[in-house]
Structure 1
Amino acid sequence: MSNFDANSLISSPLGHHLQTDRISSFSFHPKEETPFPKNSGPLSDALLETPTDLVCPITLQVFKDPVITSSGQVYERHAIVSHLEKNHNDPISRLPLRIDQLTPVYVLRVRAAEYRESAAAACIQAACSAGCTNPVQYVRRAVDLADGITVPGLSPECVQYVKTHPSNACDVQVMEVFAQGLISAVQKANAAAVYGTLLTAGLDKAQQCAHLRAWVECWTQLPGELDDTAMRKLEEFVEGQSVLRWSRVIDLVEAVFSGPAAVALCEYLLFPGSSTVAGTAAPEARLREVTLRYMQLQLRSVGEAQGALERRVMALEAASQESPPAEEASVREKRLFLRRPHWMNSRVFASAALTVATVAGAGGHPVLKLLSMFPLLYLIPPDGD
């Protein structure tokens, strides 16, 4: 560090760490002993802290090219060389020191490199874990550790973006770029976990829609569609968290993939045999929520069909005004049929649906009980008819 006064190390806590013990520790721990605790989980704070014997007291960073002085102090080469160009003493021991008295410490270099690689990989896994409450800190930590080395799942684009956007205002974008890098590294399950974290982060609907689309693309066998595999994974995801309700998820599916896709998801969740959770009954609250949303979607579909019918009638009326006299009777006949009150035209649909619900046994499954009431709505004539 060019602006760092190495002489200040005398009063620094790091200046008093056991540098002299490093001479006898150059055999170090066996490789299988990781620098962070074995039993710590992937979200352990140990991942965010570097062992003191791997930290240069000048740069406060993990060693990359460590050298040892004649008095037994260990520094990062470029940092101690920069100090010696202005001062001719050891910044900790204060003993006279020349550049040609610096000796590389290859064992420490190897151990530091192994630590950086393993810790960066562990940070990536931590950032992709479902229980991680602040994954972006692990992504940033992985980027710091991976400087100059390649870590699977950490793309050059992600490294560059993190380095140029240190503000936490860019945390969402950091996670998005990170997820894209995971997809490029064929780690789609990890990418889906990241998008799942973003989905539950309380962002606006536009961002949630974008993240849901990206999440589905990690699982679907049919690009751009919500297929059975994606529905199964979506069910597992939603049931495994407590932030997103099914009504919200169905709304997002409708916004991203269309109404029929939302209807298909509802049917997948509602009807026996389609759910992936074999032998496990869906909670009653979920059943009511999804059924209500399913009925709303179906009613909307009927309303859209009625609107299309009315537009067709208007088109026929306009055409009839220009029709030759010989055709007027036929056109008038069609118009009178189509202009019957829409509740009369709905009776056929209502009767058929009610029959299906009855035959299926509405007295059994709670969903069928609710659905048996659904067609009755169509038997009620609108006001004024």
Structure 2
Amino acid sequence: MKYDFLIVGSGLFGATFANRAKAKGKTVLVIDKRNHQGGNIYCENVEGINVHKYGPHIFHTNDKTIWDFVNSFVEFNRFTYTPVANFKGDLYNLPFNMNTFYQLWKTKTPEEAKTIIDQQISENPISTPKNLEEQALSLVGKDIYLKLIKGYTEKQWGRKATELPAFIIKRLPLRFTFDNNYFNDKYQGIPIGGYNKLIDGLLEGIEVKLGVDFFEERERYKDLAHKIVYTGKLDEYFDYSLGHLQYRSLAFEHSVLDIENYQGNAAINYTDYDTPYTRIVEHKHFEFGKQTKTVITKEYPLEWSSEKEPYYPINDKRNEDLANQYKKLKEQESNVIFGGRLAEYKYYDMHQVIGAALNVAKKEFE
């Protein structure tokens, strides 16, 4: 039997496309080289807590169609992401809002906060920022930059802010209200019972094979189906023929603690350069857990190599140019659909991945 679709990767793009293909009566086989399905949104149950194994994922969107779509598989809770920044022991609310400005300067009105920010920007006027540091200083001034942006960004990218391109920061939203909600989207939450329930719902009734590396027997797997949906690394599909695309990677240090509540919040960012990790995540707070123990994760940014997991595409000129060359090769692959963060070499939020998969499926089946 030949399948209609072989889907390489069981993350959000692959699982969403598989679901839509099955709904249209198509035969589908999903393969994944990991020993679990769900890609980076996979959760591991530890002490009754859904641990976000590959970093925290908060679903947020303004698109009611996508919100209704995911809620048709699992109900989402009312979690609101309100991270806190720790700079050398002092705590600041994120995103930058009236609470943050009070913590920095004891300002109590929007006018007072705006005056200080405008004054700091005018002290070092930069008309054409040449790097990320100059861009940030021209947008928010020195206090916010030095305490809440510089160290975190340099850890995250493994480069000095003066060596990073200005376009990485197109804007830095300043919110002149006492509002700690990180996202502006209308809909936000976490699946009740964890993200595995969303993936299980999307892949219900679909054949999935785990621990299978597409590239070990590429020709055999290509012969299994009329069409391939590929969600892996773009350059790997073409055997790195034009060179390697670059990424930033992450390492996670998970700890089970014999206390009920470690930090009182789902995420605290460490924005000074000397703290080696960028944040500590306490997973039970995503689902308002009351367990007697807690699980925390320290997140360390890493320089990427082929043995490490690729997380963030590096959107500098060299990588953008190389990705565009690979995208020209994609156009020659008439029987392959490339989708998702790795196959498109593009940073996606979850709702964007699902939206892209739904659009591709709609186009395919119409």
Q: TM-score, normalised by structure 2?
A: 0.19
Higher RCO (C-alpha 8 Å, min separation 6): 2
Higher Cα Rg, which structure? 1
